[in-house]
Amino acid sequence: MAIQVVMPRLSDTMEEGKILRWLKKEGDRVEGGDIIAEVETDKADIEMEAFGSGILRKIIVGEGDSAQVGRLIAVIAEEDEDISAMLTAAPAATGAGGAVAGAVAAGPQVLQSSSEGRVMASPLAKRIAREQGIDLSVVAGSGPGGRVIQRDLATIAAMVESAPAKPTPVSPVSPPRESRKAEAPSPPFADFEERELSPMRRTIATRMAQSMASAPHFYLTAEAAMDRARELRDSIQAQAADLTVTFTDMIVKAAAMALARHPAINASFAGDRIRVYSRVHIGIAVALEDGLITPVLRDCDRKGLAQIAKESKELIERARSRKLKPDEFTGGTFTVSNLGMFEIEEFTAIINPPEAAVLAVGSIQAKPVVEDSRIETGHRMRMTLSCDHRAIDGATGAKFLQELKRLLEKPLQLIL
């Protein structure tokens, strides 16, 4: 029986994937469980395996091309099986230029007529197509189920606009001077470079805009004395040469303990209810060249500082090499974002939905402080908690931040 290989949903935010490379070529024998391709998602580069055996009869989405989740990208079948019906029904793949790559390869002639027929398209897309004379039958939709939506038409319009114009015949007789129109001035040379959004950057843009639009953020800032935390970290490093404990590790452990004591922060807004999680899974924001990803450390409240340090190091290394597995960047209940290593004193972070809060951590700075009526040098760190006001009130967030500050200022509790 022929097997349809479709673009899998490899993360909770994934809408499309790009084929980085096929590890099998057409005509190769494939067994169930074989890795047949590498797919770039908005989170990581992930190996895709076959879920059946047969011959890789047809590759529909080539290397470097993208396809929406659920779209047919290849067919596995035996040599004597007829796969023509599958190939006929297969929608076009998305290329590097956008949702309609290939549809306008011939230039502006796709705008000749509007022949909507039974093409799936949103009402707005149909209206725009009628007004602009776009043939929907040649447009590959990027909406649910391959539905043509407004952005698909915007993409095709941009591609047509940039296509070279056909030469206009020149009359041998010049028109009268009074009928000539002044030529439009040429646009100045563009001193910028446009870079196409990567799947990761596209998802970040969408989700962060949705978060700010839907979740009413409020912010709470506290400053923690980090002198004892610095001493504890130095002591650990001196006694355990094979273990590296970072301040982020200490903050994650302290946050996990504070979340266990203030579970209302370890929550998310779910429409007509608030979901409070019984397990503490903390995402650690990791900066990549083309965006940001938050690998998730699970059950942080039940793990010691040394285990958190070891696991976080491994997760961050895999995140930077884009080798995270789907279960390693999903399911977080709270996020810590530390920019202290970049000498950022203080900042606010956008909540990572569906979580209800995120902690933004600045650098540890030496500054004059008052101790027992004396001015001394102390080390202070500012932390800002962003909260979703639909799920968390100000006093609730303040109590959590107060607990976190207390744990960091008396850090022996992190290792006892």
Residue 30 predicted with pLDDT over 60: yes
Higher pLDDT, 84 or 286: 286
Name the token pair of 92: 């076009």
What's residue 340's pLDDT? Answer: 96
Residue 171 predicted with pLDDT over 90: no
What's residue 187's pLDDT? Answer: 52
Mean pLDDT comparison of 32-36, 158-162, 398-402, highest-scoring range: 398-402
Q: Where are the alpha helices (DSSP H) in 97-226?
A: 123-132, 150-162, 199-214
Evaluate whether 286 touches 294 at the Cβ level (below 8 Å): yes
What's residue 200's pLDDT? Answer: 82
DSSP annotation of 270 reads -
Q: Which of 217, 281, 379, 389 is catalytic?
A: 389
Q: How far is CA 112 from CA 107, 127, 136, 150, 160, in A?
A: 11, 16, 11, 19, 12
Name the token pair of 222: 């506290």
Name the token pair of 268: 């998310």
Mean pLDDT comparison of 68-82, 122-136, 169-183, highest-scoring range: 68-82
Residues in CB range of 274: below 8 A, 6 or more apart:
267, 268, 356, 391
**The residue type at 296:** V
DSSP 317-359: HHHHTT---GGGSS--SEEEEE-GGGT---------TT-SEEE
Q: Which long-range contacts (CB under 8 A, 24 or more apart) does 161-165 make?
A: 163/104, 163/107, 163/108, 164/107, 165/108
Name the token pair of 213: 């639009």
3-state secondary structure of 166: coil
Mean pLDDT comparison of 144-148, 155-159, 209-213, 359-363, highest-scoring range: 359-363
Q: According to CATH, where is 2.40.50.100 located in the chain?
A: 3-89
Report the alpha-carbon distance of residue 29 to residue 251 in Å, rounded.
Answer: 50
Residue 167 predicted with pLDDT over 90: no
What's residue 137's pLDDT? Answer: 66
Percent of the chain with pLDDT over 90: 53
DSSP annotation of 127 reads H
Alpha-carbon 124 to chain mean position: 27
Query: 282, 258, 249, 268: which is closest to 398 by C-alpha?
Result: 258
**The residue type at 51:** F
Confidence of residue 106 (pLDDT cuts 50, 70, 90): very low
Residue 118 predicted with pLDDT over 70: no
**pLDDT tens for each residue of 209-247:** 889 888 999 999 999 999 999 999 999 999 988 899 999
The mean per-residue pLDDT over the stretch 345-371 comes to 96
Evaluate whether 58 touches 78 at the Cβ level (below 8 Å): no
Name the token pair of 414: 């992190």
The mean per-residue pLDDT over the stretch 365-376 comes to 92
Higher pLDDT, 395 or 13: 395
Confidence of residue 168 (pLDDT cuts 50, 70, 90): very low
Count of positions (residues) in the chain: 416
The domain 199-414 having CATH identifier 3.30.559.10: the answer here is yes
Residue 176 predicted with pLDDT over 50: no
The mean per-residue pLDDT over the stretch 344-348 comes to 96
State in words which class domain 97-161 has.
few secondary structures
What's residue 265's pLDDT? Answer: 98
Name the token pair of 254: 């302290």
Residue 357 predicted with pLDDT over 90: yes
Higher pLDDT, 154 or 304: 304
Ranges 8-17, 103-112, 209-218, 357-366: which has the least confidence: 103-112
Round the average pLDDT of the chain to a whole number and report it.
Answer: 83
Report the alpha-carbon distance of residue 145 to residue 155 in Å, rounded.
Answer: 19
Q: Where are the alpha helices (DSSP H) in 196-245?
A: 199-214, 227-239
262 is catalytic: no
Residue 115 predicted with pLDDT over 60: no
Q: According to CATH, where is 4.10.320.10 located in the chain?
A: 97-161
Report the alpha-carbon distance of residue 149 to residue 141 in Å, rounded.
Answer: 6
DSSP 351-365: --TT-SEEEEEEEEE
The mean per-residue pLDDT over the stretch 387-411 comes to 97
Name the token pair of 243: 């273990």
Q: Using CA atoms in the order 196, 201, 202, 203, what is the torsion angle rounded to 10 degrees?
A: 160
Q: Which fold has domain 3-89?
A: OB fold (Dihydrolipoamide Acetyltransferase, E2P) (2.40.50)
The mean per-residue pLDDT over the stretch 200-212 comes to 86
The mean per-residue pLDDT over the stretch 180-199 comes to 66
Residues in CB range of 196: below 8 A, 6 or more apart:
96, 97
What's residue 113's pLDDT? Answer: 31
Residue 89 predicted with pLDDT over 80: no
Confidence of residue 287 (pLDDT cuts 50, 70, 90): very high
DSSP annotation of 159 reads H
